[in-house]
Amino acid sequence: MATFTETPQLSTRFEAALVYATRLHNHQVRKGSNVPYISHLLSVAALVLEDGGDEDEAIAALLHDAIEDQGGETTRAEIRQRFGERVVCIVDGCTEDKTLPHLRWKERKLKYLEKLRLAPPEVRRVSLADKLHNVRSIVADWERVGESVWQKFKGGKEETLWFYRSFLEIYQPQGSNFFTLELARLLSRLDVTR
């Protein structure tokens, strides 16, 4: 039986981040659905907390797509001002560089994967929680619509699965936890559909 120590508390900073993330992503839905985007951000934050992440990591989980999807440098400055340098560094670590439009999809993904290989543990935790939730959503969609789920991804089935398998190659050498074990199990399930 697990022994629990003092319960970590979330402060009003987390509450403010939740409101801020909800406002930033208010008109955004999950790819190929009508599901409000905030559902993804809440799920990623929950996974981070369940894995032992602290409040800064949970806030970064709520904001991990804010710079990439909702305002770039202006949003980065707001995050720094509202939530501090550590939070903005984690969000930066989880952000793909879209300032290089000449790069193809796979080249951008390779740059992001390389960045994660060198990332500190807090960035890796938030990033992996993000990818785990994404793959959970893909599996749920696949169960509803079958192979047509892959049509909504620029990389199609093969490249999308390659991208998520690449995360396992980065994270498994660091040791398995429930994130990596579940991600491996879900990807194996999707691989069966080949």
d(CA 15, CA 3): 28
Q: Is 51 marked active-site?
A: no
Nearest to 132 by CA among 91, 168, 169: 168
Q: Which helix (H) or strand (E) holds 79?
A: helix 72-83
- For 137-144, which contacts have Cβ atoms below 8 Å and span 24 or more sequence positions? 137/30, 137/40, 138/186, 138/190, 139/186, 139/189, 139/190, 141/32, 141/33, 142/190, 142/193
Q: One of 50, 51, 54, 69 is an active-site residue; which one?
A: 69
Angle at 87 between CA 40 and CA 71, to 5 degrees: 65
Q: Is 169 marked active-site?
A: no
Q: One of 6, 51, 54, 68 is an active-site residue; which one?
A: 68
d(CA 69, CA 83): 18
Q: 6 in helix, strand or coil?
A: coil
Catalytically active residues, by annotation: 68-69
